[in-house]
Amino acid sequence: DAKTTQPPSMDCAEGRAANLPCNHSTISGNEYVYWYRQIHSQGPQYIIHGLKNNETNEMASLIITEDRKSSTLILPHATLRDTAVYYCIVRVLYSGGSNYKLTFGKGTLLTVNP
Amino acid sequence: AAGVIQSPRHLIKEKRETATLKCYPIPRHDTVYWYQQGPGQDPQFLISFYEKMQSDKGSIPDRFSAQQFSDYHSELNMSSLELGDSALYFCASSKGREPFNQPQHFGDGTRLSIL
């Protein structure tokens, strides 16, 4: 799976949009971008995923650049409960053996301040 | 919606003892993954099962074994426990069929402490 690079930490004011960047310059054409977050010692929570088009759900938006070498996760109105480590993970779409493990990198610690 | 259920939530063992962690996937999910997260570390993949067959293997010690049963629940068996096995153990589940981009959903984990 392609490696990803994320800033180690970011701050955001409550009520403002949080924009979390991720670089995945070696991504292959059959690899998806997934975002998870982990609130202190809880299980990682799935947020959103995409291939090449921008995606939006009730939690967030995912913007993927045209060359797919980077992406941005957007939390439109951050709350204190959004404070967590955010992981950007690139995973192959189909490998034939159902080995779809997630490889977690260091992630970004997002701190939402009142 | 039903989530991944893990038991027990907390487990305290002594060195050289054995432990069994259980995972009940989301209904109709046929694929189970196990991850280990040591203190201050990121989750690391251990092993996965698809339709009761081992599908992938990561950095799982030989002292550990796992299986998936006919009802799709999974158990992680750990023997000769060491201090370094103290960690959070997460189970995740997903559907292993098309579309293959379906995400994994995680349980709340089992916190294993070795004394």
DSSP A82: G
Interface membership of B67 toward A (CB under 8 Å): no
pLDDT of residue B102: 83
pLDDT in tens, B41-77: 999 999 999 889 998 899 899 999 999 999 999 999 9
Of A38, A101, A102, which to mutate for an interface test with B (greatest number of B Cβ within 10 Å)?
A101
Q: Which residue of chain B is at minimal alpha-carbon distance from A37?
A: B106
Using a CB-CB cut-off of 8 Å, the residues of chain B touching A62 are: none
Put simply, the answer to whether A103 touches B45 (Cβ < 8 Å) is yes
| Least confident residue range of A53-57, A102-106, B87-91, B97-101 | B97-101
CA trace torsion B14, B35, A79, B10 (10° rounding): -20
pLDDT of residue A95: 62
pLDDT of residue B1: 72
Using CB atoms, pick whichever of A49, A51, A104 lies closest to residue B43: A104
Structure tokens at A104: 């977690």
Question: What's the CA gap between B84 and B76, in Å, rounded?
Answer: 16
CB-CB contact of B1 with B103 (8 Å): no
Per-residue pLDDT band for A101 (boundaries 50, 70, 90) equals: confident
Using CB atoms, pick whichever of B42, B50, B109 lies closest to residue A104: B42
Residue A97 in this model has a pLDDT that exceeds 60 = no
Structure tokens at B26: 């989301």
Residue B22 in this model has a pLDDT that exceeds 80 = yes
Of B101, B108, B110, B112, which to mutate for an interface test with A (greatest number of A Cβ within 10 Å)?
B101
Distant-in-sequence, close-in-space partners of A15: CB < 8 Å, separation ≥ 6: A77, A78, A79
Task: Return the HEC string of A17-56.
Answer: CEEEEEECCCCCCCEEEEEEEECCCCCCEEEEEECCCCEE
Residue A77 in this model has a pLDDT that exceeds 90 = yes
Residue B79 in this model has a pLDDT that exceeds 60 = yes
pLDDT of residue A92: 78
| Least confident residue range of A100-104, B9-13, B71-75 | A100-104
User: Which residues lie across from A111 on neighbouring strands?
Assistant: A11
Put simply, the answer to whether B108 touches A94 (Cβ < 8 Å) is no
Residue A94 in this model has a pLDDT that exceeds 60 = yes
CA trace torsion B51, B52, B58, B62 (10° rounding): -170
pLDDT of residue B99: 67
pLDDT in tens, A4-23: 999 999 999 999 999 999 99
Q: How far is CA A68 from the centre of its chain?
A: 14
Mean pLDDT in chain A? Answer: 92
pLDDT of residue A87: 97
Closest CA to B93 of B6, B26, B1, B42: B26
Q: Give the CA distances from residue A9 to residues A19, A106, B52, B103, in Å, rounded to whole numbers and listed in that order.
A: 12, 10, 39, 25
Say which residue the tokens 């045209």 belong to: A66
CB-CB contact of A104 with B59 (8 Å): no
pLDDT in tens, B32-46: 999 999 999 999 999
Q: How much is the average pLDDT of A76-105?
A: 86
Of A1, A28, A102, A106, which to mutate for an interface test with B (greatest number of B Cβ within 10 Å)?
A102
